[in-house]
A and B are shown apart, each in its own frame.
Chain A
Amino acid sequence: MHDKTLAEQAALLASGELHSSDLVEHYLQRIEQHGEALNAFLAVDADGARRAAAAADEQRKAGNAGPLTGVPIAHKDIFCTTQMPTTCGSRMLQNFVSPYEATVVEKLRTAGLVTLGKANMDEFAMGSSNENSYYGPVANPWQQDRVPGGSSGGSAAIVAARLASAATGTDTGGSIRQPAAYCGITGIKPTYGRVSRYGMIAFASSLDQGGPMAQTAEDCALLLQAMAGHDSRDSTCSPLAVPDFSATLNAELKGLRIGVPQEYFAEGLDDDVARCVNEALAVLEAEGAILKPISLPNQGLCIPAYYVIAPAEASSNLSRFDGVRFGHRCENPQDIDDLYTRSRGEGFGPEVKRRILIGAYALSAGYYDAYYKKAQQVRQLVSDDFSNAFADVDVIAGPTTPTTAFARGAKSDDPVAMYLNDLFTVSANLSGLPALSAPCGFAEGLPVGLQLCAPANQEARLLNVAHRYQSVTDWHRQIPANFA
C-alpha cells in the first residue's frame, strides 16, 4: 500500500478498493517498525488516527467523502494541535498542548485527512539538518548516517520512508525544499500568503510559509488545494481565489520558457548535483520547453540579507516564550528577571540562542540602519532580480541545494557552513515567490533535487512542470532499500 502515491491511494479509497482504517493501520505498523531508527516522529496518536480513519470510512460509505478523506498525514511539530503536544522541536515547549488548532491542521482535518502524528524538526525551524532538535536528530532514510535536511527533516524522512502518505512542512529559507531534495521527495513552498500562518509557530514572520511534502507533484497539488486559501485570522494571508491546481497538471510544456540562472551553476555546486540537474533540464527541453540562460545578479547577497532579517524577526517572535503563560519555567525563580533569563536560557538550544542574539543585535540602537534596514533594501534588490528575470521567462530552474545530504555532525560546529545549504532556496523566501523541489536523480546513492521557481501565485505552473517531468521520469518512485 505504501508504495502507492497519495493520489493513487485517494483513488483506491474513492473506488472502495481500499479503506482508510486499513491504510492507517498499515502506516501505524510501519511507524512501529521503522519509527525509532529514524526518530522522525515526536508524537504518534494511534488511537486518534484509528478513530479518524473509522470516521472517514463511515463518511465514505455515507457518500460525503472529499477527494482526500481518509488519507493519513503527519504534521510538522510547528503546527498547533489540540490532541497532541506541539513542541516545535524545543525543550521550551516540552509537553505543551496548544489550546487551539492551526488553520492548516483544521483545514486538512476538515478535508478528511487522518493525522498520524507530529514530525520532528529543527528547534523553532532553525536549522538545515534536523540536528538542532531538542528531541534528537532525524536520520536520512537513504543513508542513516546522513542528515535528512531541515528544518522539516522529520516530515521529509517520514514521506521518504513511506511512514505516511504525506506531511506538512514549513519553509522560511528552504525548510521544505532542502529536506525534500535530501530525502528524494517533492515539496512546494507556496507564494507567501497562500497558506495561513495562524497556528504555525512563527520563526520569521515575513518569510515563513507552510506547504505540503509528498511523493509527487500531483500529491502536492491535491494537498495544497486543501491547505490554501484566505484566513481572516492572518493579516498576511492572501485574499486571492485559489486556482484548481490539479486541473492544469498535464498542460503541455511546449514553448515554456525556463530560465537557468548562471549564478546557480558556479563554484560550490557539487559536480554530481550539476549533472543530475542538467539532465533534468534536458528532459524538460525534450518536453518542449525552451531553456534560456538568465542572471540573478544579487543572488550572492541572499544569504547575508536572510541572516539579518530572519534572526531579527525571530528575536522578537521568540520573546513570548518567557515562562509566564506557557512553556518552560525554571525552578525557583528569584525574581522576574531570573525567571526570564533562566527559563529562556534553559528552554532554548544553542542555534536558537545564536539567532536571537544576532537578531537582537541587528535591531539594537545604532545598528538598525547598518544591518536591518540595509538587509531590507537588499531584499528589495533580490526581489527586483526576479521581477526582471520573469519578464523573459516563465519558470526558473536549478539545483535545490549545492550538495546532497551531508553526514550527521559534519557541519554542526560551523554555523556559517551550515547556512550555505540555503544558498539557492532563500531567495524565494525573500521575494515571497512559490518554489518547488522535485527528485531528479541520485549521486552516490543520495537523492538530488531540482528546484523550480515561478512568479507570485503561479504554484499551478510549478506543479504542472514538475508533474510533466515526473510523468517521464521515476526518481520520485524510488524507495530507500531499508523501507521498501
Chain B
Amino acid sequence: MTWETVIGLEIHAQLATRSKIFSAASTAFGAEPNTQASAVDLGLPGVLPVVNREVVRMAVRFALATDASITRRSVFARKNYFYPDLPKGYQISQMAFPIVGEGSITITLPDGQEKLIGLTRAHLEEDAGKSVHDLFEGMTGIDLNRAGTPLLEIVSEPDMRSATEAVAYARYMHSLVRYIDICDGNMQEGSFRCDANVSVRQAGSDTLGTRTEIKNLNSFRFLERAIDFEVERQIDIIEDGGTVVQETRLYDADKDETRSMRSKEEANDYRYFPDPDLPPLVIDEAFIESVRATMPELPVARRARFIDELEIAAADAQALCADRQTADYFEAVFEGRQFAPKLAANWMLGELFARLNKEDMALADAPVSARLMGDLITRVDDGTLSGKLGKQVFDALWGGEQDVDAVIDARGLKQITDTGAIEAMIDEVIAANPSQLAEYRAGKEKLLSFFVGAVMKASKGKANPAQLNQILRDKLKA
C-alpha cells in the first residue's frame, strides 16, 4: 500500500517591536528575570491591556505579502487555562475573527518546481513567560520577561506532502517575515517557532487521516527529521492494524523521535470568549494604504524583475533574492554605475560569496561595502583591471582597504594596455627564447602558452591578456 503524507504548519513569528503587544515594557531578549515584566505583564489586579499599533501594522504587512484578506473588524479573545508562566490565567489571542484571513504563497522546491501553499489565517497573540526548572531545589522559577511579547501565529492549509515541502515552506516563511521586517527570524532565541500537524492517508484518498501535532521544532533540520519520524511511526501503527491517536507530541532531538505529551492532553477546554477589555480592532483603508506605502518589493516580484529587466540568470536571481539584505546589496553595487548588473551578480555570487562561505560570515558583516564592490567592478569594466587583478584588489578590500584606485596605484596593479609596451615585452621574450620560437614555427603550437606565460610574467601579470594574446600570435607567425 502506498501512503500519502499530509502536513500543515503553524508558525509562531515573534514580531520585532520595541515594546510588548499590550504593555510598554521592552521585548529585548536576555534581560535579568522579571526586569522587563511590567504591572500589565504580571497581570496585577486592575491592570488593562492596550494594543501596540506597530503589531497591527506588522500583521497587515504580512497580509499584504501573502495576498491574504485583512479582517476589517477583528476581535481579541481570551483563551483560558492555568499555567504558572501564564500570568492572567488566560492568553489574549484571536479566535473567531483573526486579523489576517485566507492567503497563499508560492514556494520553490529543491528540484526547482513551484508549489502554491494556502494560508488559513494568521492571528495576533501574546507570548507566555518562561518556566525554569533547573535553578531551584524542588521548585520552578517563573520569569515573565517574555510574557506579552507579540506573536503572529501563521496557520497553513494542510497542503504539504513531504517533509521536504514542509521545510521549503518554513524556509520561505522564515525568509519572508525577515524580508518584510516583521520578525528577526532568530530560531535559537525562539523568535520563529514551528509546530507541525502531520497525518497519513492512503494515496488517492480525499479524507484526512488522524493528525498529531508536533511541537518544539526549533530548526529546519529538526522539522524535517521530526516529520520523517512521525510519518514512519504513523504508517507502522496503521499497518499493524492500530489507529493513530490525535495528540500533541514533542520532538526530542537527542533521541531523534517524537513522544506523546500526555500532560497537555488533559481536558483542554479553553473557554474562548471576546476579551471585554478590548473593543474590536477596526482597520480602515487609510491604515492599509499607509502600510502598503512602506512595503518593500517582495522576493517573487524582485526576482522576476532581476531576470526580465537586468538579464540575470534565473538561478542567480533566486540566490540574490534569498533575503532582502542580499538583494539590496546587489542593487546597491550597480546603482548609478555604467557596467551591466550581470557583472555585479557574477562578482557577488562568485568572489564575495565564496569568501563569505570560507570565513563563515554573513553578508551584513562583510568588510567590503556595496560601494567598494561597485568601484572595483567599474575598474574591471573599464579595463583598468583584468579579472585576475580585480581579485587581488578584492583581497586588499577584504583586508580593510577603503579606496579601489588607491590600491591599484599603491600596488601598481594597473593593467598594461599600451600596445607599444606590450610589443616591446613580447620582442624581448621572443629574442630570449630562439629555440622555442623555432619549435613553435615548426608546428609545436602548444608552446603558445609558454610565451603567454613568459610575457605575462615579464609584465608582472599586468598586461591586458586579450591584447597580449593577439600581438603575440601575430609576432610568432612572422
Binding site for B on A (CB under 8 A): 79-80, 86, 88, 93, 96, 98-100, 102, 197-202, 204-206, 232-236, 312-313, 315-316, 318-322, 324-327, 336, 340, 360, 363-365, 368, 372
Question: What residues of A have a CB within 8 angstroms of the CB of B324 in the complex?
Answer: none
A312 to B271, CA, bound (A): 9
Asked if A320 meets B45 with Cβ closer than 8 Å, knowing A340-B82, A360-B271, A365-B269, the reply is yes
Are A201 and B46 neighbours in the complex by a CB distance under 8 Å? yes
Which of A80, A200, A316, A318 lies in contact with B271, CB distance below 8 A? A316
A98 to B44, CA, bound (A): 8
Which of A98, A102, A201, A313 lies in contact with B276, CB distance below 8 A? A313
What are 19 A-B contacts with C-beta separation under 8 Å? A79-B46, A98-B44, A98-B46, A99-B44, A102-B46, A198-B48, A201-B45, A202-B45, A206-B276, A235-B51, A235-B277, A315-B271, A316-B90, A321-B45, A322-B82, A322-B84, A324-B84, A324-B142, A363-B272
Which of B50, B78, B87 lies in contact with A316, CB distance below 8 A? B78
Asked if A368 meets B273 with Cβ closer than 8 Å, knowing A235-B50, A320-B45, the reply is yes
Interface presence of B424 (CB below 8 A): no
Interface string of B260-285 (1 = CB under 8 A from A): 00000000010111001111000000
Task: Count B interface residues, CB 8 Å.
Answer: 29
Question: What residues of A have a CB within 8 angstroms of the CB of B47 in the complex?
Answer: 100, 198-199
A312 to B276, CA, bound (A): 11
Tell me the smallest distance from the CB of B84 to a CB of chain A, in Å: 6
Which of B46, B87, B90, B273 lies in contact with A198, CB distance below 8 A? B46
Asked if A319 meets B50 with Cβ closer than 8 Å, knowing A201-B45, A236-B277, A364-B271, the reply is no
Nearest neighbor of A202 in chain B, beta-carbon distance: B46
Are A96 and B45 neighbours in the complex by a CB distance under 8 Å? yes
Question: What residues of B have a CB within 8 angstroms of the CB of A326 in the complex?
Answer: 44-45
Question: What residues of A have a CB within 8 angstroms of the CB of B50 in the complex?
Answer: 232-235
Interface string of B238-254 (1 = CB under 8 A from A): 00000000000000000
Nearest neighbor of A79 in chain B, beta-carbon distance: B46
Question: What residues of A have a CB within 8 angstroms of the CB of B87 in the complex?
Answer: 320, 324-325
A368 to B84, CA, bound (A): 26
B90-121 residues with Cβ-Cβ distance < 8 A to A are 90
Question: What residues of A have a CB within 8 angstroms of the CB of B88 in the complex?
Answer: 319-320
Interface string of B149-187 (1 = CB under 8 A from A): 000000000000000000000000000000000000000
Tell me the smallest distance from the CB of B283 to a CB of chain A, in Å: 15
Interface presence of B314 (CB below 8 A): no
A233 to B50, CA, bound (A): 6
Are B48 and A197 neighbours in the complex by a CB distance under 8 Å? yes
A326 to B45, CA, bound (A): 9
A195 to B42, CA, bound (A): 23
Are A325 and B48 neighbours in the complex by a CB distance under 8 Å? no
Apart from the given pairs A236-B277, A236-B279, A316-B78, 5 other A-B contacts in the complex at a CB distance below 8 Å = A313-B276, A316-B89, A319-B89, A322-B84, A363-B271
Which of A79, A236, A321, A363 lies in contact with B273, CB distance below 8 A? A363
Tell me the smallest distance from the CB of B414 to a CB of chain A, in Å: 65
Question: What residues of B have a CB within 8 angstroms of the CB of A315 in the complex?
Answer: 80, 271
Question: What residues of A have a CB within 8 angstroms of the CB of B78 in the complex?
Answer: 316
Are B45 and A88 neighbours in the complex by a CB distance under 8 Å? yes
**The 7 A-B residue pairs with the shortest CB-CB distance in the complex, in nearest-first order:** A319-B89, A205-B276, A206-B276, A363-B271, A199-B46, A320-B43, A201-B45
Question: What residues of A have a CB within 8 angstroms of the CB of B42 in the complex?
Answer: 325
Which of A100, A197, A199, A336 lies in contact with B84, CB distance below 8 A? A336
A365 to B270, CA, bound (A): 8
Which of B43, B45, B269, B273 lies in contact with A98, CB distance below 8 A? B45
A236 to B89, CA, bound (A): 21
A326 to B278, CA, bound (A): 24
Interface presence of B354 (CB below 8 A): no
A86 to B47, CA, bound (A): 14
A321 to B44, CA, bound (A): 9
Question: What residues of A have a CB within 8 angstroms of the CB of B84 in the complex?
Answer: 322, 324, 336
Interface string of B273-311 (1 = CB under 8 A from A): 100111100000000000000000000000000000000
Interface presence of B49 (CB below 8 A): yes
Which of A99, A199, A205, A232 lies in contact with B277, CB distance below 8 A? A205
Interface presence of B39 (CB below 8 A): yes
Question: What residues of B have a CB within 8 angstroms of the CB of A325 in the complex?
Answer: 42-44, 87
Are A316 and B273 neighbours in the complex by a CB distance under 8 Å? yes
A360 to B278, CA, bound (A): 20
Question: What residues of A have a CB within 8 angstroms of the CB of B279 in the complex?
Answer: 235-236
A472 to B137, CA, bound (A): 72
Tell me the smallest distance from the CB of B328 to a CB of chain A, in Å: 37
Nearest neighbor of B88 in chain A, beta-carbon distance: A320
Nearest neighbor of B268 in chain A, beta-carbon distance: A365
A201 to B43, CA, bound (A): 11
Question: What residues of B have a CB within 8 angstroms of the CB of A100 in the complex?
Answer: 39, 44, 47
Interface string of B27-45 (1 = CB under 8 A from A): 0000000000001001111
Tell me the smallest distance from the CB of A333 to a CB of chain B, in Å: 10
Tell me the smallest distance from the CB of A455 to a CB of chain B, in Å: 19
Which of B44, B46, B269 lies in contact with A200, CB distance below 8 A? B46
Asked if A316 meets B80 with Cβ closer than 8 Å, knowing A98-B46, A199-B46, A364-B269, the reply is yes
Question: What residues of B have a CB within 8 angstroms of the CB of A201 in the complex?
Answer: 45-46
Question: What residues of B have a CB within 8 angstroms of the CB of A197 in the complex?
Answer: 46, 48
A235 to B39, CA, bound (A): 16
B39-73 residues with Cβ-Cβ distance < 8 A to A are 39, 42-51
Tell me the smallest distance from the CB of A43 to a CB of chain B, in Å: 16
Tell me the smallest distance from the CB of B43 to a CB of chain A, in Å: 4
Tell me the smallest distance from the CB of B400 to a CB of chain A, in Å: 50
Nearest neighbor of B89 in chain A, beta-carbon distance: A319
Nearest neighbor of A372 in chain B, beta-carbon distance: B273
A232 to B269, CA, bound (A): 33
Tell me the smallest distance from the CB of A325 to a CB of chain B, in Å: 5
Asked if A86 meets B45 with Cβ closer than 8 Å, knowing A316-B78, A319-B88, A363-B80, the reply is yes
Are A319 and B82 neighbours in the complex by a CB distance under 8 Å? yes
Nearest neighbor of B22 in chain A, beta-carbon distance: A235
Nearest neighbor of B47 in chain A, beta-carbon distance: A198
Question: What residues of A have a CB within 8 angstroms of the CB of B271 in the complex?
Answer: 315-316, 360, 363-365, 368
Question: What residues of A have a CB within 8 angstroms of the CB of B278 in the complex?
Answer: 235-236
Are B46 and A320 neighbours in the complex by a CB distance under 8 Å? no
Tell me the smallest distance from the CB of B95 to a CB of chain A, in Å: 11
